[in-house]
Amino acid sequence: MKSLALIDQLPVAVFIIDKDHKVCYWNNKCEIITGVPKEKIIGTSDHSIAFYEKRRPLLADLVLDQEDRILELYPDCKKIDGWYTGTAYFPFLKGGEKFFQFSAKPIYENKKLVGVMEILFDITHLKQIDNFNEDIYENSMEAICVFDMESLEICFVNKSALEIYGYKLKDRQQVIGQSILNFSVVRAEEIKTFIQKIIKNGIKSFQTIHIKKNGKRIHVSGNCRKIKYLGRDCILVNIKDISNEIKAFEEKNRTCEEILKVLSRSIDYRDSYTEEHSERVKNYAVKLAKELLLPESLVEEIRIGSLLHDLGKLGIPDQIINKQGLLSVEEYEKIKEHPRIGYRIIEPVQISRNIKAIILFHHERWDGQGYPLGLKGDEIPLPARIVAIADAFDAMTSNRVYRKACSKEEALKEIQACSGSQFDPQLSKVFIKMIEKEINLNKNL
């Protein structure tokens, strides 16, 4: 225990895996260079993901399995005094790309192999003196490409990069000398602008679409930096094929979208007179958000929050939701509970606080006379203020059992009358102009 406490303070990264390839020790330096705390990694086999962002054997794993693949994955690896020692390039660490010299040694108890210790020495500053070490990049399992900053011609590409784009090692000379434009959907002007950002800011990450040899498009990500290669000013690019991750993300988004639709329909279908209400509120709220030139990410949160704004009505008794007439005072007090109920339903879910704010605060008023908390003015989150206007406008322009819908023009007059009391005056002004423009366009059709 005392020896591990000393190792924990060493300025080098040290980790130990047991005979099942599970991490049983992860020192402070490992935490710093990978960004992964020991609490999250000890007891798991995720050490390779911490270093490479994907599963692949580290030297410790190969030593543990006593595999012949050590030289295949780490060609410069040597065995000295019981230690396996080599160098490797790690492009996706928390602090950016790094070069490490690493050593791994088996741990025995009673002559039985019980684990392996691996030590990693940061030698990035030494490799940067060389600027480009072709042997290390060539043998790296990470895809590496180097291109000339001026001509955009490819100067170097390793085996891993060739494989991503559908080429074999024998095709390397076909690729070298080609313009990177042949592999990209991005125009030359945009690439030149990106290069200027690399020069100004150092390493620059990216995500884009590239084209394989067979014409198929793939999603890639990585980072770039300026280097010297054979006396030329070049850009070194680390490339990762993230097509599968993008596909999985899109499928997950589609699934979430369907769940949102089911939830919003479940809310609306409880009251036949407000069917599709959530969808219409979403449309108005998103239009207003875009009119305000809000960031796309916030517009998306407003879209989702609008669909779910009445989620709490699922907790209100049917006889109140579907009552054929005006509500009593007691029934109205029950209805006023739906923002809190909706918030309690969604609170455990890991979604944006803006979405939760819409559900909880869309019945707050600018003058502080709303519910559930009586927030006033700017105390009410902007997304909730936007949805409040959209919700009220759709309620006024939709038929109810106890009253007919009013026209859009009449509803806008009511929004104007309540500006500064019920609604944010600035948002009301923008919303009124937006709807009036739509009305005039429809009249001219």
pTM as predicted:
0.50
pLDDT digit string, tens, across residues 307-360 = 999 989 888 888 888 787 788 999 999 999 999 999 998 888 778 899 999 999
Most confident among 32-36, 250-254, 341-345 (mean pLDDT): 341-345
Range ranked top by mean pLDDT from 9-18, 154-163, 260-269: 154-163
| Whole-number pLDDT of residue 321 | 81
pLDDT band at 1 (very low <50, low <70, confident <90, very high): very low
pLDDT one-digit tens code per residue, 170-218: 898 889 989 999 998 888 888 888 888 777 766 677 888 999 999 999 9
Q: Identify whether the C-beta of residue 43 lies closer than 8 Å to the C-beta of residue 23.
A: yes
Domain boundaries, the chain: 2-130, 135-241, 245-443
127 band by pLDDT with thresholds 50, 70 and 90: low
Other CB atoms closer than 10 Å to residue 26's CB: what's the count? Answer: 25
55 band by pLDDT with thresholds 50, 70 and 90: confident
Q: Whole-angstrom Cα distance, residue 109 to residue 114?
A: 7
CA–CA separation, 241 vs 207, rounded Å?
10
- Which two structure tokens, joined as six digits, stand for 130? 């060389």
Residue 337 CA to residue 302 CA, distance in Å, equals: 22
Strand ordering across the sheet containing 204-211: 154-157, 143-148, 232-241, 217-229, 204-211
Choosing among 1.10.3210.10, 1.10.443.10, 1.20.140.10, 3.40.605.10, the CATH entry for 245-443 is: 1.10.3210.10
CATH assignment of 135-241, among 3.90.1150.10, 3.40.50.920, 3.30.450.20, 1.10.1060.10: 3.30.450.20
Q: Distances from the Cα of 299 to the Cαs of 56, 245, 354, in angstroms?
A: 39, 24, 10
The torsion angle over the Cα atoms of residues 98, 100, 105 and 106, rounded to 10 degrees, is: 30
Domain 2-130 and domain 245-443 have a common topology: no
* Range name among 55-59, 169-173, 249-253 with the lowest pLDDT average: 249-253
Mean pLDDT of the residues in the chain: 85
Work out the average pLDDT over 365-388.
96
Answer whether CATH 3.40.50.970 is correct for domain 2-130.
no
Question: In angstroms, what CA-CA distances link 4 with 81, 107, 325?
Answer: 22, 14, 74
